[in-house]
Homo-oligomer: A and B are copies of this chain.
Amino acid sequence: MAAIAILGHGVVGSGVVEVLRTHEESITGRAKEPIRIQRILDLREFPGLPYSGLFTKDFEEILNDPEVGIVVEVMGGLEPAFSYVKACLENGKSVVTSNKELVAAKGAELLALAQKNNLNFLFEASVGGGIPIIRPISQCLAANEVTEIAGILNGTTNFILTKMIREHMAFGDALRMAQELGYAERDPSADVEGADACRKICILASLAFGSHVYPQQVHTEGITKITLEDVAYAEAWGGVIKLIGEVKALKNGRVHIQVAPMFVSRESQLSGVDDVFNGILVRGDATGDVVFYGRGAGKLPTASAVVADVIDCVKHMKARKYLYWEDARPDYVEPYENAPQDFFVHVQGKGSSGEAFAQAEEVFGDIKRLIRKGEKEGEAGFTVKALGQGQFEEKAAALVQKGVTLLGRIILSEY
């Protein structure tokens, strides 16, 4: 019998209880012993539940319970989650979490603590919800050097973009619909500004390349400025707009990492990942491209990933799983300005569209014009190859000098 405690009884926490209760027989078979929920920590009251006797408001009661060998942290947020998880790992308890904010901010520290105390710290559910991704990267692809990862890592923004692409809804309307359907929070900034996707690509980058990348090191753009005109230009280019988190190992030992809306070609496996689904492309030197697709969030998908980690913990109480990365190295992240990228550029001139394009050509050199349906007088869209952000800004300033307004620019994805 393995006794566990659950910190938090929100969407994921209650889902963990549900999965453990509804799959009891098969889980016992797979873990090779029954898993009992000993205690659930939550400050709220849940009087009507069949297991309401398990609740406590006192974390110390869990920390000091010698029977509890595994603690599931599904509270979310950095504090008190971090203090609680740290205390558990310092007191001989393995930890399973779905908390991406915690892993992205404190992963290296907590993994080192787990290693020191011969405990497990597992977080399959922190990226991709019910999609197995942490374990495949760390195990299945062990005989393979991962060179690049690119993914649609946030279901809320993918839902909004899908509505903009398929139904020509404006960003604000699509966001409101996502809120009404419960896909977006009342304060949607962590999703639409890219912070959530940023935490996830940090976790994947840290895992794949062995050095922690912190969210504040990552150039992050959200989707709030994306317009239906951009969507139409993406279509003219032969693709769709997706919010992509990506990381690539560079030859200089650093990584190029960013989160931004990008034009993704219709030929790409990522272009067909729609609605609230996530898709993660892992490029390896031996395997080539492997893509994982599924529901990136939601109560039961996320809870099933948490419970799979709990089963793994029960089976490996004395043997640590191999899951580890070093703390960040100075200068490990390549400065964003240096990376040459292809861009779509959207401008508005004072004369005809042809004149605006000609002025852009004078400044940018070899560019390729895109014409969208319903192009306005003086509006022009074009793509330009291999510019660093610094170079791009110089060119854009020169264009403004000519009286052409820069309406926006979007990266062209390589994936």
A residues near B, CB below 8 A? Answer: 19-20, 23, 26-27, 30, 32, 124, 130-132, 135-136, 139-145, 269, 272, 284-295, 298, 300-301, 303-308, 310-312, 315, 319, 322
C-alpha gap A312/B295 in the complex (Å): 28
Please state if A142 and B286 are interface contacts (CB–CB under 8 Å).
Answer: no
**A130 CB contacts on chain B under 8 angstroms:** 144, 284, 286-288, 290
Of B132, B285, B286, the contact of A141 (CB 8 Å cutoff): B132
CA distance A135 to B308 in the complex (A): 12
Contact B143 A132, beta carbon cutoff 8 Å = no
Chain B contacts for A301, CB-based, 8 A: 286-288
Least CB distance, A46 to chain B, in whole angstroms: 21
Question: Contact between B141 and A308 (Cβ–Cβ < 8 Å)?
Answer: yes
List of B residues within 8 angstroms of A140 by Cβ:
124, 132, 135-136, 305, 308
A17→B19 CA distance, assembly (Å):
42
Neighbour of A292 across the interface among B288, B290, B308, B319, CB < 8 A: B290
Check if A294 sits within 8 Å of B288, measured CB to CB.
yes
Query: Which residues of B sit under 8 angstroms from A319, Cβ to Cβ?
Result: 319
Nearest-neighbor residue (CB-CB) of A315 within chain B: B322
Nearest B residue to A316 via CB reads B319
The reply to whether B132 and A311 form a contact with Cβ atoms under 8 Å apart is no
Q: How far is the CB of A144 from chain B (nearest CB, A)?
A: 4
**A142 pairs with B293, CB closer than 8 A:** no
- A308–B135 CA distance with the chains assembled, in angstroms: 12
Given contacts A139-B135, A304-B287, contact A26 B295 (CB under 8 A): no
What residues on B are CB-neighbors of A290 within 8 Å?
130-132, 292-295
CB distance from A321 to the nearest CB of B (A): 10
A27: chain B residues within 8 A (beta carbon): 142-143
* Inter-chain contacts of A30 with B (CB < 8 A): 142, 322
Q: Which residue of B lies closest to A273 (CB)?
A: B269
Q: Is the CB of B287 within 8 A of A143?
A: no
Q: Complex: how many Å from CA A311 to CA B107? A: 25
Central interface residue in A290, A300, A307, by most chain B CB within 10 Å: A290
A191 and B23 CA atoms in complex are apart in Å by 38
Residues of B within 8 A of A288 (CB): 130, 294-295, 298, 301
- A295 to chain B: which residues have CB within 8 Å? 287-290
- Bound-state CA distance A20–B142 (Å) is 11
CA distance A301 to B144 in the complex (A): 9
The answer, among B143, B285, B294, B307, for a CB contact under 8 Å with A307, is B143
Q: A19 and B143 in contact (CB under 8 A), knowing A30-B322, A135-B136? A: yes
